[in-house]
Amino acid sequence: MPNSSLRLRVVGEGEPPPRRGRGRRGPGLAVILVGLYAILFAAALWWMKSQASHDRGPAPAARGGEPAAAPSAGAADRAGLLAGKGLSPAARQEYAQRLASDRCDCGCDLTLRKCLEGEAKCARSADMAEERLKQLR
């Protein structure tokens, strides 16, 4: 004898299946919470990245192990550092090669030349270029 508590019904050909409930249901609570978490996580990452780019200061230590020098108040202007003012032509060529090959240690991962040209806020690149300039004088 069939159980009448089961609500199974045979659907014939061409007959649409019966509708359940009130129609299509929306996303569940778990899906909504995961989406909200993803949005908050992305916003936190964006905020931390913007704070890190504003707070970038001199590197904690230079590659040689000595502590990073504070930006000097009398650092030569960037154009003069890029041109190698006061050097002989042979020394200027060596200086230009060193600027193109040495990396700035402020955390930008650029060469000294590119950091001097493009990163106006970086005082570390000007100090490093000035050190190399003094070594070749």
Predicted confidence pLDDT, tens digits, the chain (137 residues): 555 556 777 778 888 876 666 666 778 899 999 999 999 999 999 999 888 766 555 444 444 444 444 444 334 478 888 888 888 888 888 988 888 898 888 878 788 888 888 887 887 888 888 888 888 88
Q: Establish if 69 belongs to a structural domain.
A: no
From 18, 19, 124, select the one nearest 78 (Cα to Cα). 124
Residue 129 domain-assigned (yes or no): yes
State the Cα–Cα distance between residues 34 and 42, nearest whole angstrom: 12
pLDDT at 70: 46
User: Which residue segment(s) compose the domain that 126 sits in?
Assistant: 78-136
Cα–Cα dist 98/37, whole Å? 48
Say if 117 falls within a structural domain.
yes
Does residue 46 lie in a domain region?
no
Instruction: Look at residue 13 and tell me if it is in a domain.
Output: no
Task: Confirm whether 118 is domain-assigned.
Answer: yes
2 occurs within a structural domain: no
Residue 122 falls inside a structural domain: yes
CA 61-63-64 angle, to 5 degrees, is 100
Q: What's the total number of domains in the chain?
A: 1
Helix 89-101, helix 123-136: angle, nearest 10? 140
